Amino acid sequence: MQYESQIQELTAKNLTAAEEFQVKFEKMCTENQTNSMQLNKFKRAISRLRSDLNFAFISKNLKMLDTDEKTSKVGGGSQDDKEDLIGILKLFIH
């Protein structure tokens, strides 16, 4: 009889510990999922920012190239500057 009560007590403690573990595990899973979603949002934002900055840089260089072509028609600007700008643009496009 004494052993049966000890077994029941240990079984109850084990069940309680298993339930507590399950609750903690589910909480950690939820937190991990939330953190993963936030990290993915951050990565998307960084990717968009990188794309926007590349686009702005390319736009700026295209404007400089257009301005350089206009000034070369007037009498200024060098071919080397144009080739440098075109080379930079090719780096960002590929």
For the whole model, what pTM was predicted?
A: 0.52
pLDDT at res. 72: 62
* Structure tokens that stand for 14 in this block: 């084990």
CA 53 to chain centre: 15
CA 41-91-70 angle, to 5 degrees, is 115
What is the tally of structural domains in the chain?
1
Per residue in 30-70, pLDDT (tens digit) is 999 999 999 999 999 999 998 888 888 888 777 777 776 66
In this structure, what are the phi and psi dihedrals at residue 75, rounded to the nearest 5 degrees?
140, 0
Round to whole Å and give the CA distance between 15 and 48.
49
In this structure, what are the phi and psi dihedrals at residue 76, rounded to the nearest 5 degrees?
-120, -175
Above 70 in pLDDT, residue 93? no
Looking at this protein, which amino acid is placed at residue 94? H
Give the domain range for residue 24.
2-93
Looking at this protein, which amino acid is placed at residue 93? I
